[in-house]
Amino acid sequence: MQADTAVDRTNVGLKVDGQARSRSLRAHHIVFFVVAAAAPLGFAVGSVPWAVGHGGIGTACMFLLVGVLLAIFAIGFTTMSHFVPNAGAFFSYIALGLGRPLGLGAAFLATFAYALGTIGSYGAFAVFASQATTALAGIHTPWQAWAFGAVAVTGILGVLNVDLNLRVLGTMLFAELMVLLLLSVGIITAGGAQGLSFEPLQPSSVDLHGIGVVFLIVFAAFTGFEATALFREEVGDPKVTIRRATFIAIVLIAIFQAFVCWSIIEAFGDRAVEVARRNPTQMYALASVRYVGPTFSRVVAVLVVNSWLASIIAFHNVTARYVFILARDRAVPAIFARRWQRTGAPWLASIATTVVSGASVWCCSAMRLDPYLDLFIISSVPISLAIPCMECLTAVSIVAFFWGNRRGESIFSTFMSPAISAVVLAAVVYLSLENMRFYTGRDGALNWLLPATNVVVLVIGISRAKWLRLKDPAAYLKLGHWGDKL
């Protein structure tokens, strides 16, 4: 291989900054982070009705189809993880397969996207929290109070150990899943509105006219599953644990969201698409009152707020780890690579993420912007495009890495699965761009300016790598391969 991508795959040392790293995480711990970041309850209540309204009852089947696609992608992804002994995720994969400049560009893009995902989630959380307080207690609370409170809570958890974050996320996630299951069971027990039908789970029910919009929404349900690789250095037996966590996360999200989507469609029968179009934000509330009871509907309102808080915590942790990895590779100031001696948490990277989030919330408030339509929706656009773009680049990098030397792996895992994934993901990106106005709810220049920010960040990362190659070759050689002997 060329010097730019050659790597001696020795075991990574077990110390960072002279400290022993904890390897206490297991597959189910990492799955908590991934599934919590997807905000299953918040996504179901806020996004599934929108998808059903645009794509019809076949939306339920789309969760299964996208799950199969991402599982095919994950075959190559986890196979290559055997040869990437660090926690760089997309960064390291693309750097190893397609070169360090593009790899660092992808790392900058991933950090930018997850940071915006974190910031946008504060807006959604604040809106739902304020609405729930008004509806349940009759007390009006400004959204800013909830947003800044969430910034403080997330900042504190971010500098503490991962295990505490996991316990918090685990509790929130369990409550989310239980409430969705109870509603679904209530609908099924009652036989739905017109008797149960499995038509929504059949591929023939997919409406091809609305498939572009549905793809955008359904892919969002899986956002962050690749973050399993970010915790590689904090788990025992990374080869087994990362592979297991990745597939569990994909399968769990696909089956669970398909089941929940099918249930809410059955709750309204032939009127499901009409209700989703006319009253999407109240679709789950109406079903909760009818099939379980008014009290349960109030519980759902509270847990939707918890769902968004859990998503913030998970996105914050992923963002901080990307900053930490970039700092450790000297792509950004090395000060952010410091871990807290007591907990091992990347505390300075976490504080930086908290400061940026807090400043963004303050700017939104000072400029009198809408926390949902402006802070959440607009912040969501770059990440909705960045993730499938990086997945597509990663699939291409897997093919490039194994080209001519499969290193004992099967041809399906090294060529066929990533090649199939690359083609389909490229189509998803195209559909995303074509349907951008459905994301923003606006027409005009904004629909290309927002995607263009991803290109700008990517170019900045590539330029930084080329600068390091010229001015600091030693740092350049570390990009994407920390801990290896090059």
**pTM, to two decimals:** 0.82
Task: Count CB-CB contacts under 10 A for residue 73.
Answer: 26
Average pLDDT rounded to a whole number, residues 261-276: 93
Give the tens place of pLDDT for each residue, 115-166. 999 999 999 899 989 988 988 888 999 999 999 999 999 998 888 765 556 6
Average pLDDT rounded to a whole number, residues 386-400: 92
For the chain, give the mean pLDDT.
Answer: 84
234 CB-side CA count, 13 A:
21
At the top level of CATH, the class of 24-478 is: mainly alpha
Task: Name residue 367's amino acid.
Answer: M
Question: What confidence score (pLDDT) does residue 20 get?
Answer: 40
Distances (CA, A) of 351 to 156, 310, 346: 9, 18, 9
Question: What confidence score (pLDDT) does residue 165 get?
Answer: 60
Confidence band of 18 (pLDDT split at 50, 70, 90): very low
Confidence band of 37 (pLDDT split at 50, 70, 90): low
Asked whether residue 111 carries a pLDDT value surpassing 80, the answer given is yes
- Tell me which residue has tokens 């919009």: 213
| Domain locations in the chain as residue ranges | 24-478
Question: What confidence score (pLDDT) does residue 484 get?
Answer: 40
Give the tens place of pLDDT for each residue, 429-446. 888 788 787 767 788 888
Under DSSP, the state recorded for 85 is -
Question: What confidence score (pLDDT) does residue 184 get?
Answer: 94
Average pLDDT rounded to a whole number, residues 328-351: 86
Asked whether residue 361 carries a pLDDT value surpassing 90, the answer given is yes
Give residues with Cβ within 8 angstroms of 361, minimum separation 6: 119, 122, 123, 144, 147, 148, 151, 375
Asked whether residue 22 carries a pLDDT value surpassing 70, the answer given is no
